[in-house]
Amino acid sequence: MIRPLILPFLLLPLLAACSVAKGEAAVTASTGTPIIIAHRGASGERPEHTIASYALAIEQGADYIEPDLVLTRDGVLVARHENEISETTDVASRPEFADRRTSKIIDGHKFTGWFTEDFTLAELKTLRARERLPQLRKANTAFDGQFDIPTFAEILELARTQSEETGRIIGVYPETKHPSYFATIGLPHERPLLQTLAAHGMADEGSPVFIQSFEVENLKALRPKTKLPLIQLMSADGGPADDQGQSYAAMATPMGLKEVASYADGIGVEKAMVIPRTMIGNLGPPTGLVANAHAAGLKVHVWTMRRENYFLPLSHKSGLNPTGHGDLVGEIRAFLDAGIDGMFSDNVTEAVMARTRE
């Protein structure tokens, strides 16, 4: 959901075909049961943002699958963590694209590499996905080179077919990545996003879709154009790239949440904003964010639940090895007890276990 982690220890048509009525299409969100959002698919077990990753997450019991959306030169939405793709594809080893390497300023930061907006969809489809965190997820590298870059349309088709095959509705939870940047180069997200959803019968009110963004103005632009729920993403630090004078901390206050509620239906927040960690790295007491957001009429979804020791609170680690798998179920249960409405997780199996209290 946010920029690639720097690892210091490494230097580092239609759901109508389903038997479930569309009015129930918000999956478990309509029942009050916290939803499980497969963060970039089953990204703890397959290279992220691949059809294989999304399919595995559905098999494991995800309610929603989450693609980060960027655009190609010919205006097609595709799923990548960032529009700079050297970390997640084999583009750097492809001599035919060597001259596409360049530097750009995006959201005030300089990046050097290869960018989706400099490739047509046909060109991107020749690339193959790679594991983004190979030091932490060595097992995932066994799948390097096996999968291509999926389009948003292909992901929606997967959700449709899997809904029919499983008899349960599979939702989608797309994120618009760097929407103000893409708008400045003539590739705004809003039209292709809504058109693609409509083409797959998922643009109507009640469809199993959340649209999320770390920025503000594209959510405001979407508000009069769609009845689908919108989610304002927030991190513990910084602020939206399209409003340098605003901070997420201010947006998370009771007054800020009331403003967010004027254009969004929920917030997707870094988990430390709900349960911060103590000085030694354990979970501390919850903040008042969930209660304040609920008072403003907003849902609260937290990111990101991951089972590697590197990401877990001290008391939930299984040892010193950062790649080891600790007690993610226990961490998730603490957040469920704090009253959250959903969670993004790289590991769907553990999220399902935590939610069912097995």
Task: Please state the three-class secondary structure of the chain as a single string.
Answer: CCCCCCCHHHCCCCHHHCCCCHHHCCHHHHHCCCEEEEECCCCCCCCCCCHHHHHHHHHHCCCEEECEEEECCCCCEEECCCCECCCCECHHHCHHHHHHCEEEEECCEEEEECEHHHCCHHHHCCCCECCCCCCCCHHHHHHCCCCCCCEHHHHHHHHHHHHHHHCCCCEECCEECCHHHHHHCCCCCHHHHHHHHHHCCCCCCCCCECEEECCCHHHHHHHHHCCCCEEEEECCCCCCCCCCCCCHHHHCCHHHHHHHCCCCCEEEEEHHHCCCECCCCCECCCCCHHHHHHHCCCEEEEEEECCEHHHCCHHHCCCCCCCCECCHHHHHHHHHHCCCCEEEECCHHHHHHHHHCC
Active site residue: 49, 81, 189, 200, which one? Answer: 81
CATH 3.20.20.190 fits 8-84+149-356, yes or no: yes
> Which residue among 39, 189, 301, 316 is the active-site one?
39
For residue 213, list its beta bridge partners. 232
Point out the least confidently predicted range of 22-31, 147-156, 214-223, 283-292.
Answer: 22-31
The tokens of 56 are what? 């595995």
Percent of the chain whose predicted confidence (pLDDT) is above 70: 91
Q: Which residues touch 13 (CB under 8 Å, ≥6 apart)?
A: 160, 199, 200, 201
- In tens, the pLDDT along 89-116 reads 999 999 999 999 999 999 999 999 999 9
243-298: per-residue pLDDT in tens? 989 999 999 999 999 999 999 999 999 999 999 999 999 999 999 999 999 999 99
**Per-residue confidence band for 29, with pLDDT thresholds at 50, 70 and 90:** low
pLDDT for res 244: 87
For strands 102-106 and 211-213, give the pairing. Answer: unpaired
Q: Tokens standing for 300?
A: 């609260």
User: Any idea what the Cα angle at residue 24 is, between residues 19 and 29, rounded to 5°?
Assistant: 135
Active-site residue flag, 109: no
Annotated active-site residue 200? The verdict is no
**pLDDT band at residue 158 under the 50/70/90 scheme:** very high
Question: CA–CA separation, 309 vs 328, rounded Å?
Answer: 9
pLDDT for 357 equals 77
Q: Which of 9-23, 202-216, 228-242, 264-278 has the lowest mean pLDDT?
A: 9-23
Mean pLDDT, the chain, whole residue set:
92
High-pLDDT (> 90) share of the chain, %: 90
Q: How many CA atoms lie within 13 A of 81 on its CB side?
A: 21
171 pLDDT more than 70: yes
Establish whether the linkage from the previous residue to 349 is cis, with ω within 30° of 0: no
- How far is it, in rounded angstroms, from Cα 120 to Cα 112? 19
What predicted TM-score, i.e. pTM, was given to this entire model?
0.92
pLDDT, tens only, 176-225:
999 999 999 999 999 999 999 999 999 999 999 999 999 999 999 999 99
Residue 30 has what pLDDT?
53
**Reported confidence tier of residue 154, pLDDT bands at 50, 70, 90:** very high
The pLDDT score that the predictor gives to residue 6 is: 38
